[in-house]
Amino acid sequence: MSMWTEADWVRTARRVESLQDEMIELQRALCAIPALCPSSGGEGELAKAQFLKRVIAALEPDLLEEVHAPDPQVPSGIRPTLVAKWKGRDSSRTFWIMTHTDVVPPGDLSQWKHDPWQAHVEDGRIYGRGVEDNQQSLVASVFALKACRLERVPLPMDVGLMFLADEETGSALGMEYVMEHTRYVQPTDLVAVPDGGSPDGSEVEVAEKGSVWIRVHTRGRQCHASTPEQGVNAFRAASALVVSLDSLYQDFPQRNAVFAPPISTFEPTKKEPNVPNVNTIPGDDVFYVDCRVLPEIPLEQVLAAVRRRADEVERRYRVQVEVEVDKISHAAPPTPADAPVVRLTVEALKKVYGVEARVVGIGGGTVAAFPRRKNVPAVVMGRNQETCHQPNESCVIADLVGDAKMFAYMMGAASA
């Protein structure tokens, strides 16, 4: 049973509300420190992590450490993850809240109403790149902890905050590195990853699909567009293959009601430039396919089905087709619906938002997959208005405060 009382909860919730202006100011400060991955033209998360470390140090954690994943692509040579812990009654277990510090590029600046790196407050929202993904949850976790400390809320178990690098480009230098090179996270721990959810907060994600990103390179022979008989049009062959890949939906028709959507998806996405001028038939063409696959379907079967279609296009169009795996992530074991961290999350959502939560699976990928692969139950939750990665990304201030209350409740109520 939790050590804290209803009176503790009421005091803590009120304290969270009193900290709203400070939350907004931390959002402003973090937004002004772009933490872009090198593949997005940035220098990584170091400056943001250093600033955040000073913020966390003021909360007097019992442990405050950095995990440095080496990365020669950034000037500092490292991708830092920040780890902080506060002791509770039971230090054999930790309730973790894991958020990430990196963000995506702003994209077309002409579509932004304001500078994406200068947070703007208007009509109950904070606008700026990263303010929802993932700074809403990051800031909420910090102020949940601060409220608990100010109100001297007794913690049933240790509480840990983890601020991860590299989430936006796959987590190899973030959560994956942490799980492989440290022992912070143990099988008896409770892991919350507030990097998803739904507008009303009612979705508690306990499972993720497998995913594979495929790079398809079609090789023909370049020639002048007025003499097509002298070449082999790689673009035409690639286009035929794109259309052919639609039939993957028929090859893999399985349905699983836990997931939304309840099917596997196979979508062509990125297209690389081929020729710079109109009057040249391209000899090379490259496109990508994003596949989100239900856990019961082996990814190897999907890759084999893509290869069969590529072979057909080779024969028909006299081209060579290379099918390469750009990134692959096998589905992690799902978190049991009755796991303590799921029950705690459902209870907190009811307490704070008054919603009846339901467990779901998603097609997207989060850092929750990495602890799950180590048999550590993890959930993904939160109020998410789905503006992430978009122009004019925004965070609803009421959701920021509400999520901080939810985390504070979970910190005080966490028990076996």
Is 102 known to be catalytic?
A: yes
- What is the residue type of 380? V
Asked if 412 contacts 8 with a C-beta cutoff of 8 angstroms, the reply is yes
The catalytically annotated residue of 8, 45, 71, 102 is 102
Q: Which residues contact 262 (CB under 8 A, 6 or more apart)?
A: 255, 256
DSSP string, 72-121: TTSTTSEEEEEEEEE--SEEEEEEEEEEE--B-----GGG-SS-TTS-EE
- What is the residue type of 240? A
* Sheet of 120-122, strands arranged across: 120-122, 125-127, 394-396
The catalytically annotated residue of 151, 167, 203, 403 is 167
CA 9 to chain centre: 30
User: Would you give the DSSP letter of residue 255?
Assistant: B
* Sheet of 210-219, strands arranged across: 265-271, 284-293, 210-219, 320-329
CA distances from 311 to 306, 308, 327 (A): 9, 5, 22
Maximum CA pair distance of the chain?
82
Active-site positions read 102, 167
